[in-house]
Chain A
Amino acid sequence: MTLRMAWRNLWRNSRRTMVILTAVAVGVFSMIFIGALMAGVGEQMIRTSIATLVGSLQIHQHGYRDDPVVENTMEDPSEPQAALASVRMPDARWSRRVRVSAVAGNARHSAGVSLVGIEPEREAAVSFIGGAVTEGRGLSPGDPYGILVGRALVGTFETRVGRKLVLMSQAADGEMASRAFTIAGVFRAELEATEKQFVFVSLAAAQEMLGLGEGVSEIAVLLPDGADPDPVARALAAALPERYEILTWRELLPMLTAYIEMNDTFTAIWYLVVFIAMGFGIINTLLMAVFERMREFGLMRALGMTPGGIVREVLVESGLLLAIGMAAGNALAVAAVAAIGENGIDLSAFAAGVEYAGMPRVIYPALSFAGALEANLTVWVLGLIVSLYPALKAARITPVSAMARV
């Protein structure tokens, strides 16, 4: 009964209702859409970082993280490997690596790089490098002299597939070790910085060059999408002696974690700002609707309706108004995300700027149920709270004063 009355009241002045509905719809649309964009950027940055050698979690020798040098390698990786086998991790993949800083050089150029020794067949399941080789070939297991180099590094070094590249780094015995590799393939990455930073050789070649024997720098573990790395990290820590350190991507990438938190704060502030802008319109519209109908409210009071009943009547009306606006806003946002979702928003025009900020080159909005719910709840709850003001105004009227109004 109340609902039907509220519904009819809404459409008594359909133009006014439409205008305020548009305001609510645009507001809710912008909240959800911008929330989805921010979440999309965040998710892509996490995914890219995890694929760029970080993985879901990593096992190191204690001290490697502060001082990633050859002395801090795990001399015998069989112990952590046994622990990995004992901890139940459905669908998890892992890969061993040697990672040291090195100098790459050819006849005319030299630059500092990270030399990464990988197990090609295992690594393909863990990090981006498996599918990133665009020219030449990938590494074969135990490849003695093949090396994979980023496209950007190939450009600055003025070299190509088949040419030599000399790598120098400190070996386990403290002496400088150097080894000539042949560029087997060229890889591409989301960020140019990645293409300049990493060069990949086979694990065996790196171990031989650096005199490491069976030693590895890190074991990276990739859990299936959406799995929480914390319980696995705890289980591994319990299964391994003290001298190993297990870190999840959140700990390995403190900057990214802080960035995601900053994004979330920003989204929440944006919700509030849009709501305030909308709130003024909602109050004004409801006030007008209430004042027009003061006589009517007086009559209802005279017929025995309580002030509480009138408050409820006005709130139901505004709740209905908000709900319709929200539905339209949600539909718009879902449509927009679906329309953009296919191709994303291409920021290649700002390539250098995107690179500088460490953002993905193409943004795909990520619509999350939680985010949309948060936006809708903000509008709904705050909307009803501000509607209390006109509702109370309407409830305060006495039958006598209302009937006396023109």
Chain B
Amino acid sequence: MHLRMAWRNVWRNRRRSLLTMAAIAFACALLVFMLSFQFGAYEAMINTAVKVHTGYFQVQAPGYQEKREVRRVVENPAAVVRCLDTIPDVTAHTFRANAFSLASSEDRTYGISVTGIDPAREPGVSTIQTLVREGMFLEPGDGPAALVGALLARNLRVGVGDDVTLLGQGRDGSIAATVVTVKGTFSSGQDDFDRSALYIPLDYFQELYAMRGAVHEVVGVTPSIWAVPAVERRLAMDLERLSREKKTQPLAVLDWKALMPGLAQGIYLDLVSGLIFYLMLIIVVAFSIMNTFLMAIFERTREFGVLMAMGTTTGRLTRLLLTESMMMTLMGMAAGMLLGSAVTLYFEAVGIDFGSAADILRQYGISGRMHPVLTAPSLLIGPLLVCFITFWAALWPALRVRRLNPVEAMTHV
């Protein structure tokens, strides 16, 4: 009865109700699309970052993350792997070691970061193999071979088959010097990285930099970023037990956020500023539709007077009005979510071309076309926010009926 009355009242002035619902639908559709767009961008950025650079989490010697000194090593990586193997959510892992070195070709010298990788296990953890542009990826058993960032190769003026001289300092302070042959070049699209990265096989790295079997990073992968916190907790416990047995300082477990604090905070900042924008937008919409609710009540003052004279309580009238406005909000939300999802799904399939801005986005790991991703949070957060705010916008007019007096209301023109 209550619902049927509200439903009929909504359609008494069709044009007005439709316009109001259109405003709500517009806000909802826009928010669904924008949030899906933002989440899609974040996902692409995080994926590129974890898959090209850091992995989902790493085990390092304490202090290595800040100082990146050759001597801060994971002494016994095999023991860490034994811990990792007992955690089912760790799907792959590998070792890496890094050292700052001078790389020289015949006529150029640059200071760069040399990284030792395990050619057999690295493809399970990172996408470096798929980024190879010329030549080949490293293979197990390779000796003095190198995979070089495309911009570094250009700066050094070397190509596949050319020699590069590396000069650095070993773990024990000894001079590490060698000549490696360029086996391939890779391009991630992130200029800073492509300008300063050079990979050599881990075995060879350990020999060259006198690592004595130690590594700098044990890199792990989980099925998604959401599985990382649980793995991190479990691993930290295991590592602490291990260190108590051996009476050494426990190794540090760092998740992708700790490994790339800029990325995580950048995303957070973008999300917060986005929400402030959306809130302003919703407030504009709320004021626009508050008028509709308010007008509907003025027009019907006589009617409310009659209803009250017949014994309807003001509480019931307020409920009726709120039901009407919530009906409109819900219909608008539904339409907006449908429209927003349709637009989002279309662009999710087709992608959005950013034209000249694509170069900027590539530096943040979004290559080529940008794909929004429709997820439950991106579908629901915006519309729920709209619903919440319109409820308050509708409450004020609805409460005004309580001030009505049946006799005066009935004589209202």
Contacts and interface: CB of A to CB of B under 8 A. Distances in A.
Contacts of B360: 255, 258-259, 262
A355 B288 contact: no
Contacts of A20: 287-288, 291
Given A101-B111, A277-B27, A261 B357 contact: yes
Contacts, number: 156
A354 interface: yes
Nearest to A104: B111
B281 A15 contact: no
Interface string B19-51: 110110011001000000000000000000000
A277 B109 contact: no
B236 to A, nearest CB: 22
B357 A258 contact: yes
Q: For the side of the interface on B, what is the size category?
A: 35 or more
A16 B294 contact: yes
B287 A22 contact: yes
Given A69-B108, A112-B196, A284 B20 contact: yes
Nearest to B19: A284
A392 interface: no
Contacts of A254: 359
A350 interface: yes
Contacts of B110: 101, 112
> B interface, by DSSP: helix, strand, loop or mixed?
helix
B264 interface: yes
Contacts of A22: 287
Residue among A270, A276, A284, A350 with the most chain B CB within 10 A?
A284
Interface stretch (A168-176, A206-214, A230-238, A301-309): A168-176
Residue among B265, B267, B289, B294 with the most chain A CB within 10 A?
B265
Contact of B284 (A30, A113, A259, A356): A30
Interface in B299-314: none
B119 to A, nearest CB: 26
Nearest to A257: B356
A113 B100 CA distance: 12
B108 A110 contact: no
B54 to A, nearest CB: 14
A25 to B, nearest CB: 9
Contacts of A156: 66-68
Interface string B354-373: 00110110010000000000
Contacts of A281: 23, 284-285, 287-289, 291
Contacts of A168: 102
Nearest to A156: B67
Given A69-B108, A280-B19, A352 B295 contact: no
Nearest to B169: A110
18 contacts: A15-B294, A16-B298, A23-B288, A23-B290, A23-B291, A30-B280, A109-B67, A112-B110, A156-B67, A170-B108, A176-B109, A277-B281, A281-B23, A288-B292, A352-B264, A352-B266, A353-B263, A355-B262
List of 3 A-B pairs having minimum Cβ-Cβ separation, nearest first: A281-B288, A353-B265, A356-B262
Given A110-B100, A258-B356, 11 more contacts: A26-B283, A27-B284, A30-B280, A30-B281, A69-B108, A108-B69, A274-B281, A277-B281, A277-B285, A281-B288, A284-B288
